[in-house]
Structure 1
Amino acid sequence: MKILEKTSKSVEDAIEEALQELGADRSMVRIEVLDEGSKGLLGFLGARTARVRVTYLQQPLEEGRAFLQKLLDAAGLKSEISATMQDENAVLEIFGDDVAALIGRRGQTLDSLQYLVNIVANRNAEEKQRLIVDVEGYRKRREESLRRLALRMADKVSKDKKKMILEPMTPQERRIIHTTLQNVSNVSTYSEGEDPYRRVIISPENRD
């Protein structure tokens, strides 16, 4: 965490000098006015300069991106990381040779990597920010695949009148199944078991 104390003829001037040195804007810092200063008698007798303390706040997106890049470099993976905002989430997407190995079985390695990045990125942040780590669009493809699976299994349950137990999924993946089928008639969904073996059950809806 960077902290600067600056003095100048006015509080605003001192703040601006600190912001320029930090390369930041006001949304990225905490400002404390230590002395508002005084022009003194007749403009010079007893005059004091203004003094401020400006603290650069940790930016989770920057911290997460830097940490992730260090991990990739240490693993010897030639890669690039793009940072974008999607809704209220920041997405760090990895591109490069051999980065598919970071996904793991059903995204388990990627989920673990995302968990670690979020811990490091937010450890000193005053305002937490959720970071999503992705590899070349994997999460979007996985979401589309799960939605197709949900609709296909729901159709089978509706026809056969027998419940269907899906494979164990992460909380995020189970949420996709539940959301996809929440307005589908003739079926209902619920989850059973304990993580990491918790599963979604698609059941025929009871009709009186």
Structure 2
Amino acid sequence: MPTFEGSTIQAAIQKGLTHLDLPRDAVNVEVVAEGRKGFFGIGRKPAIVSLTALAQQTTSVAAQSAAPASAPAASEAAKPAKPAQPAHQTMTPEHRRADAVALKTVQRYLLAMAAGVQAPATLTMKRAAKNHLTVQLQTAKPGLLIGHHGKTINAMQYLGQVYLNHHAHSKFNLLLNVGEYRQRRSGILARLAERTAREAIATGQPAMLEPMPAFERKQIHAHLANSRHVVTYSEGDEPRRYVVVAPKPRMS
């Protein structure tokens, strides 16, 4: 079956239809690869589709129907059984190579983004247990990298995480830090959680925080998890999802 490439699946299909000189309803389309847009244009992969004229499929089906009844059974017997997928896949050299390339590339991306906001930087990456990655950026302009309420550093962290999710074999969790910003932010979130809890208790009404990234919402939830007076939950859709701190019903 011929295959055709394109920047998108639809583009690949159109290229195939043009090549075969057939209308869309005269072919069966099989998507071989969905393709990737890449990250900043790097790592882009084309979409690949296979087109089969329906007339060819009809002929093939008719030929199979005319075959002796024993032929399908023999065909099935000839097919080797698919091996069961292990619960935990063993890391192969290819997997390790994919991880190594992804980790090196994401570091280049982070440095390129830092330069893009006029805050050139250097970095160090530490890999802890369970594939937790901490990237420490050093720059003479930390304020530019952090941004207002951490918007810049959080955006960079999100983009880096998305790249790793798409290109690394292992599941990595990325934490990006500039100076001691994350440590200071953790203290701010703890105080914010306490203050919001007091507000909810005093008013008897739920109190809503400003939208924040998932990893910061988790810190709010964790800080108030053992409270006897309030409960927390998240509402809204990303990237505007926020934490609600509500008073627990009083026991009568």
The reply to whether TM is greater than 0.5 is: yes
In 2, Cα distance between the equivalents of 1:115 and 1:56?
23
Q: Structure 1 length as normaliser, TM-score?
A: 0.65
Query: Is 1:194 the equivalent of 2:194?
Result: no
Q: CA RMSD in A?
A: 2.8
Structure-2-length-normalised TM-score: 0.55
1:77–1:99 contact (8 Å) kept in structure 2: yes
Q: Distance in 1 between matches of 2:196 and 2:210?
A: 12
Task: String of CA shifts for 1:123-146, please: whole Å, max 9, x gaps.
Answer: 432223222222212122112111
Q: How does 1:43-62 map to 2 (within 5 A)?
A: 56-59=97-100, 60-62=102-104
Aligned residue for 1:5? Answer: none
* Aligned pair partner of 2:156 in 113, 117, 120: 113
Partner residue of 1:83? 125
Compared CA separation, residues 122 and 177, structure 1 to 2 (3 A): closer
**Higher helix fraction: Structure 1 or Structure 2?**
2
User: Any idea what SS the aligned residue of 2:167 has?
Assistant: coil
Change (3 A) 1:56 1:85: closer
Letter in 2 for 1:57: A
> Which residue of 2 is the match for residue 65 of structure 1?
107
**How many pairs does the alignment contain?**
160
- Say if 2:183 is the partner of 1:140: yes
SS of residue paired to 2:237 = coil
Quick one: structure 1 residues 155 and 129, their matched pair in 2 at CA, closer, same or farther if it must change by over 3 Å?
A: same
Residue 125 of structure 2 aligns with an amino acid whose one-letter code is A
Cα gap change, 1:71/1:200 in structure 2, threshold over 3 Å: closer, same or farther? Answer: closer
CA deviation map 1:112-170 (0-9, x unaligned): 21122233345432223222222212122112111111012212322443332222222
Give me the whole-angstrom Cα distance separating, in 2, the residues matched to 1:164 and 1:122.
34
* Contact in 1 for aligned 2:99/2:168 (Cα 8 Å): yes
Residue 150 of structure 1 pairs with residue 193 of structure 2: yes
Pair 1:170-2:237 in alignment = no
In structure 2, distance between residues paired with 1:67 and 1:196:
22
Residue segments in structure 1 that go unaligned for 5+ positions in a row: 1-26, 32-54
In structure 2, the residue matched to 1:41 is: none
Distance 2:231 2:179 in 1: 33
